[in-house]
Amino acid sequence: MNYSPNPTREDLAILQSTIEKFCKSHVAPKFQEWEDKGIFPRQLWNELGAAGLLCIDIPEEYGGHGADAEMAMSIPCGITYGNYGSIAVGISVHSDIVSHYILNLGTEEQKKSYLPKMVTGEKIGAIAMTEPGAGSDLQGIKTSAKKHEDGWVINGSKTFITNGQHADFVIAAAKTNKDVKGSAGVSLFIIDTDQKGFVAGRNLEKLGLHSSDTSELFFEDVFVSDSNVIGQVDKGFLSLMTELPRERLALAMNAVAAMEFMMEITKNYVKERMAFGKSISNFQNTRFKLAKLQTELRLNKALINECMDLFLQGKLDASTASMIKYSSTEAQCRMADECLQFFGGYGYMKEYPISKAFADARIQKIYGGTSEIMLELVARDLLGN
């Protein structure tokens, strides 16, 4: 199967070929074993780095390749197209989110300390925002950071943290000013996971994305110096809002890659599956449903191309990013359900790739901002309140 997120770019086609070869040699032979264990090995990060598949749009001065954002975000897409979504999501968090917090908000010292090792896979990053009582609504953050001489003492907990088991450091949001309400008074900190008082809890069992490690994190009087603050003190929420459009565009691109995979395997299957003496591809119900799904896929690809153009120009706003995140992930889940139905009872069996694509899809409407939050953001922009 050939895949390219943007057929007009020959360099992306070459990159996708590299990804396909990497997955065939480094992922496919052991993937089911990793899925059963609920985590892929730490060594895979080093292999990804050696293959040049991490943080490729980080500038060369910090160890990256200086590629553009479309090329960088295409890497998790190529892995998702192989139905290895649990690996793609970890890479996306590391490369498309964490590294850009450091690049865009970090000091020169922070950039030189973390970015080159993120490119090679020596240091793995995680983003720690979600808490047991604060999911899409980050204004409810309870984790606190109290000023102490030349640093901060952090206490609290996070949950559902991708890369939580493998992470060498996390970027965590904490309340630094309790005298103000809502989103004000939140700051971001780089916390190395070998710090005293940092505890990575259990690796959480999930409905899908099984080998993507997802953890609870605990901070018990964790001391970090002032040099570990990333961005401005008490301005962390604004920093989060600035970086979210990229995150949501990346999630949308992965949704479309998953849809491409599901459409490919389903159209081949319906041509082979027989019912009442003929392949089910000859039934009008099959043909019309697949035609609708393909139309939805093309529409979302078109909006993604528009969003990518805006992003590369620095013009992708929160509302438009919310539109594509909402539209593509809802479409992904609809396609997963419809395509699985074509496989009948076999689609419910774990050995069939469509069952994995179905399970992996469901989280897409939740993380990165739920569909309901996306609609609220669009409505606020549309109606002005």
What would the pLDDT profile of 23-45 be if each residue is shown by its tens digit? 999 999 999 999 999 999 999 99
Active site residue 247: yes
Q: Which amino acid is at 158?
A: K
pLDDT at 180 over 70: yes
Superfamily of domain 10-123 in CATH is: Acyl-CoA dehydrogenase/oxidase, N-terminal domain (1.10.540.10)
Average pLDDT (120-139) is 86
pLDDT at 17 over 60: yes
pLDDT at 133 over 80: no
The chain-wide mean pLDDT, for the chain, equals 95
How far does CA 282 lie from the centroid of its chain?
Answer: 38
Domain spans in the chain, listed from the N-terminal domain onward:
10-123, 126-234, 238-383
Helices marked H in the chain? 10-22, 31-37, 43-50, 69-81, 85-91, 99-105, 108-120, 236-272, 284-312, 318-342, 353-361, 371-383
128 closest CA partner among 167, 177, 91:
167
> What is d(CA 66, CA 57) in angstroms, rounded to the nearest whole number?
5
Residue 174 in contact with residue 143, Cβ under 8 Å? yes
Helices marked H in 106-194? 108-120
pLDDT at 348 over 60: yes
Report the top-level CATH class of 238-383. mainly alpha
Question: Any idea which residue has 């020959």 for tokens?
Answer: 10
What would the pLDDT profile of 256-269 be if each residue is shown by its tens digit? 999 999 999 999 99
DSSP characters over 34-66: HHHHTS--THHHHHHHHTT-SSTTS-GGGTS--
- Which of 35, 216, 243, 247 is the catalytic position? 247
How far does CA 7 lie from the centroid of its chain?
Answer: 23
CA 219 → CA 155, 172, 191, 195, distances in Å? 5, 10, 10, 10
What's the pTM value of the predicted model, to 2 decimals?
0.95
Q: Tell me the CATH number of domain 126-234, given options 2.40.110.10, 1.10.540.10, 3.10.20.90, 2.40.30.20.
A: 2.40.110.10
Q: 89: pLDDT confidence band, cut at 50, 70 and 90?
A: very high
